[in-house]
């Protein structure tokens, strides 16, 4: 399984309904991509103070590398990703993306 982890730095004036809509659009991809197993995201609630300005995060789990790769090139992901980049503080610099292999 591949876990796709995205940290997002939204500007201070970003509104929760707009952020929720972005996350919903990404979650909706599960209906179009059978290998996309789970999606969850939300605001950072860590008390540690180590977020370095990143305000939100989401994770998506994929059955395998092929499912993750299908997600990356899917037109709906491309559209939602472009909206996410546009909403992030500093554009692409407001994102961190890492993928890790789980259980394998």
pTM: 0.94
Q: Does residue 74 surpass a pLDDT of 80?
A: yes
Closest C-alpha among 82, 102, 79, 101 to residue 92: 82
Indicate whether 70 pLDDT > 80.
Answer: yes
Give the pLDDT confidence score for residue 104 in this predicted structure: 64
CA 52/CA 20 separation, integer angstroms = 21
Average pLDDT, the chain: 95
Instruction: Considering only the C-alpha atoms of the chain, give the largest distance between any 2 of them, rounded to a whole number of Å.
Output: 41
Residues 100, 97: Cα–Cα separation, whole Å:
10
Domains of the chain from N-terminus onward: 2-101 (3.30.70.100)
Instruction: Tell me what percent of the residues of the chain surpass a pLDDT of 70.
Output: 99
């Amino acid at each position: 399984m591949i876990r796709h982890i995205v940290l997002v730095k939204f500007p201070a004036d970003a509104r929760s309904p707009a952020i929720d809509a972005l996350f919903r659009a990404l979650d909706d991809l599960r209906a179009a991509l059978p290998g996309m197993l789970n999606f969850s995201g939300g605001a950072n609630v860590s008390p540690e103070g180590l977020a370095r300005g990143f305000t939100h995060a989401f994770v998506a789990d994929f059955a395998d590398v092929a499912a993750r790769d299908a997600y990356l090139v899917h037109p709906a992901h491309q559209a939602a990703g472009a909206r996410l980049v546009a909403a992030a503080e500093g554009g692409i610099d407001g994102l961190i993306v890492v993928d890790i292999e789980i259980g394998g």
